[in-house]
């Protein structure tokens, strides 16, 4: 009986180790393919790559519900938010004081979008976002 108990415990231990080492379902590399803009990529790396492995795991991606993008990162101006669609549960986005010139927003999970004081912004397209409930645009003088 003791022997059977030890064997069962050993099998359970092996199974738990296998589950613990199962890779994430979705992983997005924090690189120039996933996030082409140097500033936004650096911002994503610093803010959301919690384990600093150069990848955003499904846990890291799914945790992002609200995002505030502003200014520069390590002296690099943010000029594009390309790659933002990698965050599947993003519901609120605020973008201010960036160097973005054009924003075509296709992330239909976002309900609230605030775009303010982006002096270089000339074009904004949110027409592919039917579930957006609040859009605030202010201080974008070239728009």
Q: Does residue 15 carry a pLDDT above 80?
A: no
pLDDT one-digit tens code per residue, 71-125: 888 888 999 999 999 999 999 999 999 999 999 877 788 999 999 999 999 999 9
Q: Does residue 14 carry a pLDDT above 60?
A: no
Q: Does residue 142 carry a pLDDT above 50?
A: yes
45-54 long-range contacts, CB within 8 A, separation 24+: 46/73, 54/29, 54/30
- Band of residue 2 on the pLDDT scale cut at 50, 70, 90: low
């Amino acid at each position: 009986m003791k022997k059977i108990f030890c064997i069962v415990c050993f099998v359970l231990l092996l199974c738990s180790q296998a589950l613990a080492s199962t890779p994430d379902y979705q992983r997005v590399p924090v690189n120039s393919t996933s996030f082409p803009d140097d500033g936004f990529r650096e911002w994503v790396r610093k803010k959301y790559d919690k384990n600093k492995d150069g990848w955003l795991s499904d846990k890291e991606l799914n945790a992002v519900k609200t995002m505030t993008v502003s200014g520069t990162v390590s002296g690099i101006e943010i000029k594009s938010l390309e790659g933002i669609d990698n965050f599947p549960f993003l519901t609120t986005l605020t973008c201010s004081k960036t160097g973005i010139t054009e924003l075509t927003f296709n992330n239909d999970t976002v309900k609230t979008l605030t775009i303010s004081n982006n002096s270089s912004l000339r074009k904004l397209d949110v027409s592919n976002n039917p579930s957006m409930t609040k859009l605030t645009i202010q201080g974008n003088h070239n728009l």
